[in-house]
């Protein structure tokens, strides 16, 4: 099988972020959470996304059921130093 593979760490809320998309990993029979673990995210040629932990497939998202992309957060400009008050 050909796929583009990415390694990602699972967040504390059992999610993985890839290309501004948040993928929720459900509970497995053998483990409640994968928080803090490193998983491999496979982007298949047909558009599906498969998340694997070692030899186990922990989540699969079909192309029609992919999460929506979230907008990137931009940091607002903060002034340097103390603010000067204008009388």
pLDDT at 78: 58
pLDDT at 70: 81
Q: Is the dihedral of CA 44, 21, 15, 40 positive or negative?
A: positive
Q: Examine residue 43 and state whether it is found in any structural domain, yes or no.
A: yes
Q: Examine residue 82 and state whether it is found in any structural domain, yes or no.
A: no
Distance CA 63, CA 85 (A): 54
What is the span of the domain harbouring residue 20? 3-65
Distance CA 52, CA 59 (A): 7
Q: Examine residue 80 and state whether it is found in any structural domain, yes or no.
A: no
pTM: 0.77
pLDDT tens digits for the chain (87 residues)? 689 999 999 999 999 999 999 999 998 888 889 999 999 999 999 999 999 999 999 999 999 988 888 876 656 555 556 666 666
């Amino acid at each position: 099988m050909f796929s583009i593979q990415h390694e990602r760490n699972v967040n504390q809320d059992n999610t993985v972020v890839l290309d501004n998309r948040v993928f929720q990993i459900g509970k497995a029979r053998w483990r409640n959470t994968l928080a803090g673990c490193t998983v491999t995210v496979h982007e298949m040629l047909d558009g599906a996304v498969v998340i694997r932990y070692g030899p186990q497939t922990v989540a699969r998202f079909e192309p029609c059921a992919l999460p929506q992309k979230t907008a990137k957060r931009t940091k607002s400009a903060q002034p340097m130093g103390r603010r000067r008050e204008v009388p």
